[in-house]
Amino acid sequence: MKGRADRNLIATWANNVPEGTTVEFRAPRRTIDQNALMWSLLGQISKQVEWYGQKLSSEDWKDVLTASLRRTRVVPGIDAGTFVPLGMRTSQMTKEEISDLLELIYAFGAERGVKFRELELAS
């Protein structure tokens, strides 16, 4: 919402929708630049960090670091020996949340000696 006119328009609309309609207001989602930076950093970590004896993909690192940021709960999966992290989506993150995730990625990488370069696009 950009100002009083937007608020008035929304109030008018809200008064005319059918009962039971749900409306959600959210902070702006992550930017394209934030998303590109996140994937660049994750790619660099995936190339440089070994985790418990194995290399993880960028997608795996996104899950590991997002779980850390969000203090994600894990529940047993349907199949024996599997676990399912809950609430891992980054596509719905706000600009502030993705900024926090980027800071966590930088800190994690720095602790493990990752040499970050400028934006490195996935190949």
Phi, psi of 44 (to 5 degrees): -70, -40
What three-state secondary structure class fits 107? helix
Whether residue 90 contacts residue 66, with contact meaning beta carbons closer than 8 Å, is answered with yes
Q: Is the pLDDT of residue 120 over 70?
A: no
What are the tens digits of pLDDT across the range 66-105? 999 988 888 999 889 998 888 777 888 889 999 999 999 9
Q: Which pLDDT score is estimated for 92?
A: 80
Can you name the CATH fold of 28-111?
NinB fold (1.10.3790)
Q: Token pair for residue 104?
A: 């966590």
What are the tens digits of pLDDT across the range 18-50? 888 887 888 888 889 999 999 999 999 999 999
Entry pTM: 0.64
Q: Which of 41, 60, 17 is nearest to 112 (CA)?
A: 41
Give the mean pLDDT of 5-19. 87
Domain spans, the chain: 28-111
Q: Which residues contact 45 (CB under 8 A, 6 or more apart)?
A: 58, 61, 105, 108, 109, 112, 114
Q: Which pLDDT score is estimated for 39?
A: 95
